[in-house]
Structure 1
Amino acid sequence: MSTPRKHALVTGGATGIGRAAVLALARAGFDVALVYGSSAAAAQATAADAQALGARVLTWSCDVADDAAVRRTLAEIGEAFGHLDALVNNAGTTANWTPRDLESLDMAEWDRTFAVNVRGTFQVTRAAVPLLKKSREAGGEPAIVNTASIVGLRPGPQPLPYAASKAAVVNLTKTLAWNLGPHIRVNAVAPGWMEGDWMERMLGDKYDGLMGARAKATPLKRCVTAEDVAEVMLNLLTANRFVHGEVVVIDGGFTAST
Protein backbone atom coordinates (compact mmCIF):
# COMPACT_ATOMS: atom_id res chain seq x y z
CA MET A 1 0.00 0.00 0.00
CA SER A 2 1.41 3.38 -0.99
CA THR A 3 1.80 6.09 1.63
CA PRO A 4 -0.66 8.97 1.12
CA ARG A 5 1.06 12.13 -0.05
CA LYS A 6 1.17 15.08 2.27
CA HIS A 7 0.07 18.58 1.33
CA ALA A 8 1.90 21.87 1.82
CA LEU A 9 1.26 25.53 1.10
CA VAL A 10 4.15 27.87 0.30
CA THR A 11 3.54 31.60 -0.08
CA GLY A 12 6.06 33.58 -2.08
CA GLY A 13 6.82 30.24 -3.69
CA ALA A 14 7.93 31.37 -7.14
CA THR A 15 11.49 32.47 -6.47
CA GLY A 16 14.31 32.46 -3.92
CA ILE A 17 13.61 30.77 -0.59
CA GLY A 18 10.06 29.99 -1.63
CA ARG A 19 11.15 28.19 -4.77
CA ALA A 20 13.76 26.20 -2.83
CA ALA A 21 11.11 25.28 -0.25
CA VAL A 22 8.68 24.08 -2.94
CA LEU A 23 11.36 21.86 -4.47
CA ALA A 24 12.49 20.52 -1.08
CA LEU A 25 8.91 19.65 -0.16
CA ALA A 26 8.37 17.98 -3.54
CA ARG A 27 11.46 15.82 -3.03
CA ALA A 28 10.14 14.88 0.42
CA GLY A 29 6.86 13.58 -1.01
CA PHE A 30 4.59 16.58 -0.59
CA ASP A 31 2.09 17.95 -3.06
CA VAL A 32 2.29 21.73 -3.00
CA ALA A 33 -0.01 24.72 -3.28
CA LEU A 34 2.26 27.46 -4.59
CA VAL A 35 1.02 31.00 -3.92
CA TYR A 36 2.75 33.93 -5.61
CA GLY A 37 2.22 37.65 -5.91
CA SER A 38 3.13 38.78 -9.41
CA SER A 39 5.81 36.39 -10.70
CA ALA A 40 3.53 34.22 -12.83
CA ALA A 41 6.21 32.95 -15.21
CA ALA A 42 8.58 32.09 -12.36
CA ALA A 43 5.75 30.35 -10.49
CA GLN A 44 4.98 28.18 -13.49
CA ALA A 45 8.66 27.33 -13.90
CA THR A 46 8.97 26.35 -10.23
CA ALA A 47 5.78 24.30 -10.47
CA ALA A 48 7.12 22.46 -13.51
CA ASP A 49 10.38 21.67 -11.74
CA ALA A 50 8.51 20.36 -8.69
CA GLN A 51 6.21 18.29 -10.87
CA ALA A 52 9.26 16.71 -12.47
CA LEU A 53 10.14 15.52 -8.96
CA GLY A 54 6.80 13.74 -8.70
CA ALA A 55 4.72 16.35 -6.90
CA ARG A 56 1.28 17.59 -7.73
CA VAL A 57 1.65 21.37 -7.77
CA LEU A 58 -1.16 23.89 -8.12
CA THR A 59 -0.53 27.63 -8.36
CA TRP A 60 -2.52 30.61 -7.15
CA SER A 61 -1.89 34.33 -7.53
CA CYS A 62 -2.83 36.05 -4.27
CA ASP A 63 -1.93 39.26 -2.46
CA VAL A 64 -1.44 37.99 1.08
CA ALA A 65 -2.15 41.48 2.43
CA ASP A 66 -5.74 41.18 1.11
CA ASP A 67 -7.66 39.11 3.64
CA ALA A 68 -10.63 38.45 1.35
CA ALA A 69 -8.28 37.19 -1.36
CA VAL A 70 -6.43 35.02 1.18
CA ARG A 71 -9.66 33.44 2.38
CA ARG A 72 -10.80 32.75 -1.21
CA THR A 73 -7.45 31.19 -2.04
CA LEU A 74 -7.40 28.97 1.06
CA ALA A 75 -10.95 27.84 0.32
CA GLU A 76 -9.83 26.78 -3.15
CA ILE A 77 -6.76 25.04 -1.75
CA GLY A 78 -9.03 23.21 0.68
CA GLU A 79 -11.22 22.03 -2.18
CA ALA A 80 -8.18 20.83 -4.10
CA PHE A 81 -6.18 19.19 -1.29
CA GLY A 82 -8.68 18.61 1.54
CA HIS A 83 -6.17 19.39 4.26
CA LEU A 84 -2.69 20.83 4.83
CA ASP A 85 0.20 19.21 6.65
CA ALA A 86 2.63 22.13 6.29
CA LEU A 87 2.55 25.88 5.79
CA VAL A 88 5.52 28.01 4.79
CA ASN A 89 4.81 31.73 5.22
CA ASN A 90 7.49 33.13 2.93
CA ALA A 91 5.78 35.97 1.04
CA GLY A 92 7.65 39.19 1.70
CA THR A 93 8.56 42.61 0.39
CA THR A 94 10.76 45.53 1.34
CA ALA A 95 11.05 49.29 0.93
CA ASN A 96 13.54 51.62 -0.67
CA TRP A 97 15.63 53.90 1.48
CA THR A 98 19.03 55.48 1.96
CA PRO A 99 20.77 54.11 5.09
CA ARG A 100 20.85 56.60 7.98
CA ASP A 101 18.51 58.98 6.10
CA LEU A 102 15.15 58.63 7.82
CA GLU A 103 13.56 61.18 5.50
CA SER A 104 14.20 58.91 2.52
CA LEU A 105 11.49 56.50 3.67
CA ASP A 106 8.17 56.54 1.83
CA MET A 107 5.52 55.77 4.46
CA ALA A 108 3.32 54.11 1.85
CA GLU A 109 6.14 51.62 1.33
CA TRP A 110 6.42 51.24 5.12
CA ASP A 111 2.72 50.34 5.30
CA ARG A 112 2.95 47.95 2.37
CA THR A 113 5.95 46.16 3.90
CA PHE A 114 4.09 45.56 7.15
CA ALA A 115 0.90 44.61 5.31
CA VAL A 116 2.66 41.84 3.39
CA ASN A 117 5.29 40.67 5.86
CA VAL A 118 3.33 40.79 9.10
CA ARG A 119 -0.39 41.02 8.44
CA GLY A 120 -0.03 38.69 5.48
CA THR A 121 1.70 36.06 7.60
CA PHE A 122 -1.09 36.25 10.15
CA GLN A 123 -3.91 36.25 7.61
CA VAL A 124 -2.59 33.22 5.73
CA THR A 125 -2.01 31.37 9.00
CA ARG A 126 -5.49 32.15 10.27
CA ALA A 127 -7.11 30.98 7.04
CA ALA A 128 -4.95 27.82 6.94
CA VAL A 129 -5.60 26.71 10.52
CA PRO A 130 -8.80 24.73 9.73
CA LEU A 131 -6.95 22.80 6.99
CA LEU A 132 -3.99 22.16 9.28
CA LYS A 133 -6.33 20.93 12.02
CA LYS A 134 -7.83 18.44 9.56
CA SER A 135 -4.36 16.94 9.22
CA ARG A 136 -4.14 16.65 13.00
CA GLU A 137 -7.55 15.00 13.17
CA ALA A 138 -6.34 12.41 10.66
CA GLY A 139 -3.29 11.60 12.77
CA GLY A 140 -0.87 14.06 11.17
CA GLU A 141 1.52 16.46 12.86
CA PRO A 142 0.95 19.78 11.06
CA ALA A 143 3.53 22.53 11.31
CA ILE A 144 4.15 26.11 10.21
CA VAL A 145 7.43 27.80 9.36
CA ASN A 146 7.65 31.57 8.94
CA THR A 147 10.45 33.39 7.14
CA ALA A 148 11.96 35.96 9.47
CA SER A 149 15.46 37.40 9.01
CA ILE A 150 18.64 38.02 10.93
CA VAL A 151 17.80 41.74 10.71
CA GLY A 152 14.75 41.04 12.86
CA LEU A 153 17.16 40.03 15.63
CA ARG A 154 20.01 42.53 15.27
CA PRO A 155 20.47 45.92 13.55
CA GLY A 156 21.90 46.29 10.07
CA PRO A 157 21.78 48.46 6.94
CA GLN A 158 18.50 47.01 5.68
CA PRO A 159 15.47 49.31 5.27
CA LEU A 160 13.90 50.13 8.61
CA PRO A 161 10.40 48.87 7.76
CA TYR A 162 11.80 45.56 6.53
CA ALA A 163 13.88 45.03 9.67
CA ALA A 164 11.03 46.08 11.95
CA SER A 165 8.57 43.84 10.11
CA LYS A 166 10.87 40.84 10.50
CA ALA A 167 11.19 41.58 14.22
CA ALA A 168 7.40 41.51 14.28
CA VAL A 169 7.42 38.13 12.50
CA VAL A 170 9.71 36.81 15.25
CA ASN A 171 7.23 37.89 17.91
CA LEU A 172 4.26 36.72 15.84
CA THR A 173 5.87 33.28 15.53
CA LYS A 174 6.20 32.94 19.29
CA THR A 175 2.70 34.27 19.93
CA LEU A 176 1.17 31.94 17.34
CA ALA A 177 3.07 29.05 18.91
CA TRP A 178 1.42 29.85 22.25
CA ASN A 179 -2.01 30.06 20.61
CA LEU A 180 -1.83 27.05 18.27
CA GLY A 181 0.02 24.51 20.39
CA PRO A 182 -0.27 21.63 21.05
CA HIS A 183 -2.14 20.92 17.83
CA ILE A 184 0.04 22.87 15.35
CA ARG A 185 3.75 23.57 15.76
CA VAL A 186 5.02 27.02 14.74
CA ASN A 187 8.64 28.03 14.19
CA ALA A 188 10.60 30.51 12.08
CA VAL A 189 13.90 30.73 10.26
CA ALA A 190 16.15 33.78 10.28
CA PRO A 191 18.56 33.66 7.34
CA GLY A 192 21.67 35.78 7.28
CA TRP A 193 23.01 37.45 4.15
CA MET A 194 21.81 35.19 1.36
CA GLU A 195 23.27 34.72 -2.08
CA GLY A 196 20.97 35.59 -4.98
CA ASP A 197 18.68 38.16 -6.54
CA TRP A 198 17.29 39.67 -3.32
CA MET A 199 20.68 40.75 -1.98
CA GLU A 200 21.82 41.79 -5.45
CA ARG A 201 18.92 44.25 -5.53
CA MET A 202 19.67 45.45 -2.00
CA LEU A 203 23.43 45.88 -2.47
CA GLY A 204 23.60 46.88 -6.12
CA ASP A 205 27.11 47.21 -7.50
CA LYS A 206 28.52 46.53 -4.02
CA TYR A 207 27.12 42.98 -4.01
CA ASP A 208 30.28 41.05 -4.86
CA GLY A 209 32.54 42.97 -2.50
CA LEU A 210 30.20 43.01 0.48
CA MET A 211 29.10 39.39 0.08
CA GLY A 212 32.73 38.33 -0.23
CA ALA A 213 33.63 40.19 2.94
CA ARG A 214 30.69 38.63 4.79
CA ALA A 215 31.68 35.14 3.64
CA LYS A 216 35.27 35.74 4.80
CA ALA A 217 34.00 36.81 8.24
CA THR A 218 31.69 33.77 8.54
CA PRO A 219 33.08 30.69 10.32
CA LEU A 220 31.77 28.40 7.53
CA LYS A 221 33.37 30.73 4.95
CA ARG A 222 30.37 31.35 2.71
CA CYS A 223 27.01 33.06 2.75
CA VAL A 224 23.71 31.25 3.11
CA THR A 225 21.82 29.97 0.05
CA ALA A 226 18.11 29.50 -0.50
CA GLU A 227 18.71 25.75 -0.45
CA ASP A 228 20.29 26.03 3.02
CA VAL A 229 17.16 27.77 4.27
CA ALA A 230 14.81 25.28 2.62
CA GLU A 231 16.70 22.39 4.22
CA VAL A 232 16.09 23.84 7.70
CA MET A 233 12.46 24.61 6.86
CA LEU A 234 11.87 21.02 5.80
CA ASN A 235 13.44 19.71 9.00
CA LEU A 236 11.24 21.97 11.11
CA LEU A 237 8.17 20.81 9.20
CA THR A 238 8.83 17.08 9.17
CA ALA A 239 11.05 16.38 12.18
CA ASN A 240 12.12 18.24 15.34
CA ARG A 241 8.78 17.34 16.85
CA PHE A 242 9.45 19.03 20.20
CA VAL A 243 10.74 22.29 18.71
CA HIS A 244 8.04 24.95 19.00
CA GLY A 245 8.08 28.74 19.07
CA GLU A 246 11.72 28.92 18.04
CA VAL A 247 13.62 31.07 15.55
CA VAL A 248 16.50 29.22 13.88
CA VAL A 249 19.33 31.46 12.70
CA ILE A 250 20.90 30.28 9.44
CA ASP A 251 24.07 32.28 8.87
CA GLY A 252 26.99 29.88 9.07
CA GLY A 253 27.89 31.06 12.57
CA PHE A 254 28.37 34.73 11.69
CA THR A 255 26.06 36.06 14.42
CA ALA A 256 27.51 33.76 17.06
CA SER A 257 31.05 34.88 16.31
CA THR A 258 30.63 38.66 16.05
Structure 2
Amino acid sequence: MKSGTAPVCLITGASSGIGAASALRFARAGYAVALGNFDASTRAAAESVAGECRALGADTLIVDADVSRDAGCHAAIAAVRERFGRLDALVNSAGTTRVVAHDAFEQLDADEFERVYRVNTIGLYQMTRAALPLLRDSASDGCSTSVVNISSLAAINGTGSSLAYAASKGAVNTMTLSLARSLAPRVRVNAIAPGMVDDGLLQHVLDASRYAAVIDRMTTAAPLKRVSRPAEIADIAWFLCHAPGITGQVIAAENGLLLNNG
Protein backbone atom coordinates (compact mmCIF):
# COMPACT_ATOMS: atom_id res chain seq x y z
CA MET A 1 0.00 0.00 0.00
CA LYS A 2 1.11 3.58 -0.50
CA SER A 3 3.05 5.09 2.37
CA GLY A 4 2.67 8.49 3.97
CA THR A 5 -1.02 8.47 4.88
CA ALA A 6 -3.23 6.27 7.01
CA PRO A 7 -4.57 3.23 5.18
CA VAL A 8 -8.29 3.19 4.48
CA CYS A 9 -10.85 0.41 4.82
CA LEU A 10 -14.44 0.45 3.53
CA ILE A 11 -16.82 -1.91 5.31
CA THR A 12 -20.29 -2.55 3.90
CA GLY A 13 -23.07 -3.48 6.29
CA ALA A 14 -21.15 -1.64 8.99
CA SER A 15 -24.07 -0.72 11.23
CA SER A 16 -24.14 -4.01 13.14
CA GLY A 17 -22.68 -7.47 13.64
CA ILE A 18 -19.54 -8.46 11.76
CA GLY A 19 -19.50 -5.21 9.79
CA ALA A 20 -19.55 -3.04 12.91
CA ALA A 21 -16.93 -5.19 14.61
CA SER A 22 -14.71 -4.96 11.52
CA ALA A 23 -14.98 -1.17 11.49
CA LEU A 24 -13.83 -1.06 15.11
CA ARG A 25 -11.01 -3.54 14.48
CA PHE A 26 -9.57 -1.52 11.63
CA ALA A 27 -10.06 1.73 13.54
CA ARG A 28 -8.03 0.33 16.46
CA ALA A 29 -5.29 -0.61 14.02
CA GLY A 30 -4.88 2.97 12.81
CA TYR A 31 -6.99 2.81 9.67
CA ALA A 32 -9.33 5.49 8.46
CA VAL A 33 -12.69 3.79 8.05
CA ALA A 34 -15.62 4.31 5.72
CA LEU A 35 -18.80 2.78 7.08
CA GLY A 36 -21.20 1.55 4.43
CA ASN A 37 -24.77 2.21 5.59
CA PHE A 38 -27.46 0.26 3.73
CA ASP A 39 -30.50 2.52 4.17
CA ALA A 40 -32.30 4.95 6.50
CA SER A 41 -33.38 2.16 8.86
CA THR A 42 -29.76 1.48 9.85
CA ARG A 43 -28.49 5.08 9.87
CA ALA A 44 -28.74 5.59 13.65
CA ALA A 45 -26.83 2.39 14.31
CA ALA A 46 -24.17 3.41 11.78
CA GLU A 47 -23.81 6.77 13.51
CA SER A 48 -23.25 4.97 16.82
CA VAL A 49 -20.51 2.78 15.31
CA ALA A 50 -18.95 5.85 13.71
CA GLY A 51 -18.82 7.52 17.12
CA GLU A 52 -16.98 4.54 18.56
CA CYS A 53 -14.49 4.59 15.68
CA ARG A 54 -13.84 8.29 16.16
CA ALA A 55 -13.30 7.72 19.88
CA LEU A 56 -10.52 5.33 18.86
CA GLY A 57 -8.91 8.16 16.89
CA ALA A 58 -9.96 7.00 13.43
CA ASP A 59 -10.87 9.38 10.64
CA THR A 60 -14.38 8.11 9.96
CA LEU A 61 -16.89 8.57 7.16
CA ILE A 62 -20.39 7.16 6.71
CA VAL A 63 -21.29 6.48 3.09
CA ASP A 64 -24.67 5.46 1.68
CA ALA A 65 -24.06 1.96 0.35
CA ASP A 66 -27.15 0.11 -0.77
CA VAL A 67 -25.06 -2.54 -2.50
CA SER A 68 -28.06 -3.81 -4.46
CA ARG A 69 -27.83 -0.62 -6.55
CA ASP A 70 -24.81 -0.35 -8.82
CA ALA A 71 -25.10 3.45 -8.80
CA GLY A 72 -25.06 3.38 -5.02
CA CYS A 73 -21.82 1.37 -5.02
CA HIS A 74 -20.14 3.83 -7.37
CA ALA A 75 -21.38 6.78 -5.31
CA ALA A 76 -19.95 5.22 -2.14
CA ILE A 77 -16.55 4.76 -3.76
CA ALA A 78 -16.63 8.32 -5.12
CA ALA A 79 -17.21 9.57 -1.56
CA VAL A 80 -14.28 7.49 -0.29
CA ARG A 81 -12.03 8.83 -3.05
CA GLU A 82 -13.03 12.43 -2.35
CA ARG A 83 -12.49 12.14 1.42
CA PHE A 84 -9.44 9.87 1.61
CA GLY A 85 -7.97 9.61 -1.90
CA ARG A 86 -7.22 5.91 -1.46
CA LEU A 87 -8.64 2.52 -0.50
CA ASP A 88 -6.50 -0.27 0.92
CA ALA A 89 -9.11 -2.77 2.08
CA LEU A 90 -12.73 -3.60 1.32
CA VAL A 91 -14.75 -5.81 3.66
CA ASN A 92 -17.96 -6.94 1.98
CA SER A 93 -20.16 -7.60 5.01
CA ALA A 94 -23.60 -6.42 3.83
CA GLY A 95 -26.06 -9.28 3.77
CA THR A 96 -29.72 -10.21 4.03
CA THR A 97 -31.82 -13.31 4.65
CA ARG A 98 -35.19 -14.63 5.75
CA VAL A 99 -35.77 -17.84 7.63
CA VAL A 100 -37.40 -20.44 5.38
CA ALA A 101 -37.08 -24.16 6.11
CA HIS A 102 -35.03 -25.87 3.41
CA ASP A 103 -37.84 -28.32 2.66
CA ALA A 104 -40.57 -25.63 2.54
CA PHE A 105 -40.37 -25.33 -1.22
CA GLU A 106 -43.72 -23.61 -1.64
CA GLN A 107 -42.57 -20.83 0.70
CA LEU A 108 -39.47 -19.99 -1.31
CA ASP A 109 -40.11 -18.41 -4.70
CA ALA A 110 -38.07 -16.68 -7.37
CA ASP A 111 -38.70 -13.26 -5.85
CA GLU A 112 -37.00 -14.29 -2.61
CA PHE A 113 -34.04 -15.77 -4.49
CA GLU A 114 -33.66 -12.54 -6.42
CA ARG A 115 -33.96 -10.39 -3.29
CA VAL A 116 -31.27 -12.35 -1.46
CA TYR A 117 -28.96 -12.61 -4.46
CA ARG A 118 -29.34 -8.90 -5.20
CA VAL A 119 -27.64 -8.06 -1.89
CA ASN A 120 -25.50 -11.07 -0.95
CA THR A 121 -24.05 -11.93 -4.34
CA ILE A 122 -24.67 -9.25 -6.96
CA GLY A 123 -24.20 -6.47 -4.41
CA LEU A 124 -20.85 -7.88 -3.35
CA TYR A 125 -19.76 -8.03 -6.98
CA GLN A 126 -20.96 -4.52 -7.72
CA MET A 127 -19.16 -3.01 -4.73
CA THR A 128 -15.94 -4.85 -5.54
CA ARG A 129 -16.12 -3.77 -9.18
CA ALA A 130 -16.73 -0.15 -8.21
CA ALA A 131 -13.80 -0.24 -5.77
CA LEU A 132 -11.29 -1.78 -8.17
CA PRO A 133 -9.79 1.40 -9.64
CA LEU A 134 -9.14 2.85 -6.19
CA LEU A 135 -7.82 -0.46 -4.81
CA ARG A 136 -5.46 -0.82 -7.75
CA ASP A 137 -4.27 2.78 -7.45
CA SER A 138 -3.51 2.26 -3.76
CA ALA A 139 -1.37 -0.84 -4.32
CA SER A 140 2.33 -0.11 -4.76
CA ASP A 141 5.83 -1.28 -3.92
CA GLY A 142 4.91 -4.94 -4.34
CA CYS A 143 2.25 -4.73 -1.61
CA SER A 144 -1.28 -5.66 -2.62
CA THR A 145 -4.57 -4.26 -1.42
CA SER A 146 -7.27 -6.60 -0.17
CA VAL A 147 -10.91 -7.61 -0.46
CA VAL A 148 -12.51 -9.79 2.23
CA ASN A 149 -15.93 -11.28 1.54
CA ILE A 150 -18.10 -12.40 4.44
CA SER A 151 -19.55 -15.73 3.37
CA SER A 152 -21.10 -18.41 5.60
CA LEU A 153 -20.77 -22.01 6.71
CA ALA A 154 -24.07 -22.41 4.84
CA ALA A 155 -22.09 -22.09 1.61
CA ILE A 156 -20.03 -25.16 2.50
CA ASN A 157 -22.58 -27.54 3.96
CA GLY A 158 -25.87 -26.28 2.49
CA THR A 159 -27.44 -25.28 5.80
CA GLY A 160 -28.41 -21.86 7.09
CA SER A 161 -31.50 -19.70 7.25
CA SER A 162 -32.82 -20.65 3.81
CA LEU A 163 -31.89 -22.49 0.65
CA ALA A 164 -31.66 -19.13 -1.13
CA TYR A 165 -29.24 -17.82 1.49
CA ALA A 166 -27.02 -20.92 1.31
CA ALA A 167 -26.95 -20.73 -2.49
CA SER A 168 -26.13 -17.02 -2.46
CA LYS A 169 -23.16 -17.62 -0.16
CA GLY A 170 -22.02 -20.58 -2.24
CA ALA A 171 -21.89 -18.16 -5.15
CA VAL A 172 -19.83 -15.79 -2.99
CA ASN A 173 -17.24 -18.52 -2.44
CA THR A 174 -16.99 -19.23 -6.15
CA MET A 175 -16.77 -15.53 -6.94
CA THR A 176 -13.98 -15.16 -4.39
CA LEU A 177 -11.88 -17.69 -6.30
CA SER A 178 -12.57 -16.07 -9.67
CA LEU A 179 -11.85 -12.57 -8.39
CA ALA A 180 -8.64 -13.66 -6.67
CA ARG A 181 -7.36 -15.10 -9.94
CA SER A 182 -8.48 -12.13 -12.03
CA LEU A 183 -7.25 -9.36 -9.74
CA ALA A 184 -3.83 -10.72 -8.81
CA PRO A 185 -1.21 -9.50 -8.21
CA ARG A 186 -2.36 -6.03 -7.16
CA VAL A 187 -5.51 -7.03 -5.25
CA ARG A 188 -5.91 -10.10 -3.04
CA VAL A 189 -9.38 -11.57 -2.47
CA ASN A 190 -10.38 -13.96 0.32
CA ALA A 191 -13.55 -14.98 2.12
CA ILE A 192 -14.53 -15.94 5.65
CA ALA A 193 -17.23 -18.56 6.21
CA PRO A 194 -18.47 -18.19 9.80
CA GLY A 195 -20.73 -20.67 11.48
CA MET A 196 -23.17 -19.36 14.06
CA VAL A 197 -22.26 -15.82 15.14
CA ASP A 198 -24.01 -14.41 18.19
CA ASP A 199 -25.19 -10.85 17.46
CA GLY A 200 -25.00 -11.56 13.75
CA LEU A 201 -27.49 -11.42 10.88
CA LEU A 202 -29.80 -14.11 12.24
CA GLN A 203 -30.56 -12.07 15.35
CA HIS A 204 -32.28 -9.50 13.15
CA VAL A 205 -34.66 -11.97 11.52
CA LEU A 206 -35.76 -14.15 14.47
CA ASP A 207 -37.69 -13.29 17.60
CA ALA A 208 -35.83 -13.54 20.91
CA SER A 209 -37.05 -16.99 21.93
CA ARG A 210 -36.33 -18.61 18.55
CA TYR A 211 -32.94 -16.94 18.41
CA ALA A 212 -32.03 -18.21 21.89
CA ALA A 213 -33.05 -21.72 20.85
CA VAL A 214 -30.77 -21.55 17.81
CA ILE A 215 -27.85 -20.36 19.95
CA ASP A 216 -28.40 -23.24 22.38
CA ARG A 217 -28.67 -25.79 19.57
CA MET A 218 -25.54 -24.58 17.75
CA THR A 219 -23.54 -24.40 20.99
CA THR A 220 -24.45 -28.00 21.75
CA ALA A 221 -23.69 -29.17 18.21
CA ALA A 222 -20.27 -27.51 17.94
CA PRO A 223 -17.32 -29.62 19.09
CA LEU A 224 -15.90 -26.51 20.79
CA LYS A 225 -19.27 -25.99 22.57
CA ARG A 226 -19.48 -22.33 21.68
CA VAL A 227 -20.62 -19.91 19.01
CA SER A 228 -18.53 -17.06 17.61
CA ARG A 229 -18.68 -13.35 18.30
CA PRO A 230 -18.46 -10.68 15.60
CA ALA A 231 -15.10 -9.45 16.90
CA GLU A 232 -13.55 -12.86 16.22
CA ILE A 233 -14.58 -12.71 12.57
CA ALA A 234 -13.34 -9.11 12.38
CA ASP A 235 -9.94 -10.28 13.63
CA ILE A 236 -9.76 -12.77 10.78
CA ALA A 237 -10.73 -10.06 8.28
CA TRP A 238 -7.94 -7.84 9.60
CA PHE A 239 -5.46 -10.72 9.41
CA LEU A 240 -6.37 -11.50 5.81
CA CYS A 241 -5.77 -7.88 4.86
CA HIS A 242 -2.23 -8.21 6.23
CA ALA A 243 -1.29 -11.65 4.91
CA PRO A 244 0.57 -10.96 1.64
CA GLY A 245 0.77 -14.63 0.63
CA ILE A 246 -2.91 -15.49 1.01
CA THR A 247 -5.44 -15.09 -1.78
CA GLY A 248 -8.33 -17.15 -3.12
CA GLN A 249 -9.02 -18.78 0.23
CA VAL A 250 -12.27 -19.40 2.08
CA ILE A 251 -11.50 -19.52 5.81
CA ALA A 252 -14.08 -21.49 7.80
CA ALA A 253 -14.55 -20.20 11.37
CA GLU A 254 -17.26 -22.52 12.67
CA ASN A 255 -16.15 -23.88 16.06
CA GLY A 256 -15.63 -27.33 14.58
CA LEU A 257 -19.11 -27.84 13.11
CA LEU A 258 -17.66 -29.21 9.88
CA LEU A 259 -16.16 -32.07 11.90
CA ASN A 260 -19.70 -33.31 12.44
CA ASN A 261 -20.05 -33.98 8.71
CA GLY A 262 -17.85 -37.04 9.21
TM-score for the superposition, normalised by structure 2:
0.92
Q: 1:48 to 1:256 in 2, by over 3 A?
A: same
**Where does 1:101-250 land on structure 2 (aligned, <5 Å)?**
101-137=104-140, 140-196=143-199, 198-204=201-207, 205-238=209-242, 240-250=243-253
Report if aligned partners of 2:143, 2:244 keep a CA contact under 8 Å in 1.
no
Report if aligned partners of 2:8, 2:31 keep a CA contact under 8 Å in 1.
yes
What 5-or-longer segments of structure 2 have no aligned partner?
none
Q: 1:201 to 1:65 in 2, by over 3 A?
A: closer
Q: Bigger CA drift: 168-177 or 221-230?
A: 221-230
Paired AA for residue 236 in structure 1: L
CA offsets 1:22-54 (integer angstroms, 9 cap, x no match): 000001110011111120000000000011111
Q: How well do the aligned residues superpose, as a CA RMSD in angstroms? A: 1.8
What 5-or-longer segments of structure 1 have no aligned partner?
none
CA offsets 1:153-190 (integer angstroms, 9 cap, x no match): 11225211111000000000000001001111100000
- Between the aligned partners of 1:199 and 1:12, the Cα distance in structure 2 is 14
The share of aligned pairs that are identical, in percent, is 38
**Where does 1:29-40 land on structure 2 (aligned, <5 Å)?**
29-38=30-39, 39-40=42-43
TM-score for the superposition, normalised by structure 1:
0.93
Answering whether residue 50 of structure 2 is matched by residue 50 of structure 1, we say no
Report if aligned partners of 1:186, 1:245 keep a CA contact under 8 Å in 2.
yes
- Between the aligned partners of 1:4 and 1:45, the Cα distance in structure 2 is 25
Report if aligned partners of 2:36, 2:65 keep a CA contact under 8 Å in 1.
yes
Report if aligned partners of 1:214, 1:222 keep a CA contact under 8 Å in 2.
yes
Answering whether residue 17 of structure 2 is matched by residue 13 of structure 1, we say no
Match of 2:36, SS? strand
- Between the aligned partners of 2:139 and 2:245, the Cα distance in structure 1 is 16
Q: 1:234 to 1:106 in 2, by over 3 A?
A: same
